[in-house]
């Protein structure tokens, strides 16, 4: 095998070595189609059906980073990655910098772990 094939096989094997609560973080360029990015990652063998997968927009210069598994989401993210995830969320809800009106705390989702909340917001169907 040539070295490129070996590297690809190692990446696929490493991608499969994860626990059930790990999340695959996929990046796409702003306004790119989410389904295309997810389908490309699925064809590459990066995840299987039932895996937790997030797809956020990459606002940085140049090409977006490669997809990666996060064991402790969002704690495993860099400041830039976390900022871009927040920007993607803000764009989804149409946040123009205005503070939402609150009527007091909402405890209905207090039992849901943070990584699951992120998946509820940015997650994709696998």
SS (H, E, C) 2-55: CHHHHHHHHHHHHHHCCCCCCEEEEEECCCCCHHHHHHHHHHCCCCCCCCEEEE
pLDDT given for residue 111 in this prediction: 86
Distance (Å, rounded) from C-alpha 54 to C-alpha 121?
9
The domain locations on the chain are 3-94+109-122
Percent of residues, the chain, with pLDDT higher than 70: 83
What is the phi/psi pair of residue 125, to 5°?
-70, 130
pLDDT given for residue 125 in this prediction: 83
Distance (Å, rounded) from C-alpha 87 to C-alpha 94?
10
Q: Which two tokens stand for residue 33?
A: 């189609």
Q: Which residues of the chain fall below pLDDT 70?
A: 1-2, 13-20, 95-102, 104
């Amino acid at each position: 095998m040539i070295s490129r094939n070996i590297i690809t096989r190692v990446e696929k094997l490493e991608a499969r070595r994860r626990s059930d609560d790990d999340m695959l973080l996929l990046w796409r360029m702003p306004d790119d189609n989410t389904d295309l990015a997810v389908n490309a990652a699925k064809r590459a063998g990066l995840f299987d059906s039932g895996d937790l997968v997030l797809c956020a927009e990459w606002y940085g210069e140049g090409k977006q980073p490669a997809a990666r598994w996060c064991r402790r989401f969002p704690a495993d993210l860099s400041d830039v990655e976390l900022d871009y995830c927040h920007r993607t969320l803000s764009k989804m809800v149409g946040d123009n910098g205005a503070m939402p009106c609150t009527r007091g705390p909402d405890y209905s989702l207090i039992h849901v772990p943070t990584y699951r909340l992120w998946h509820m917001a940015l997650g994709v169907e696998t």
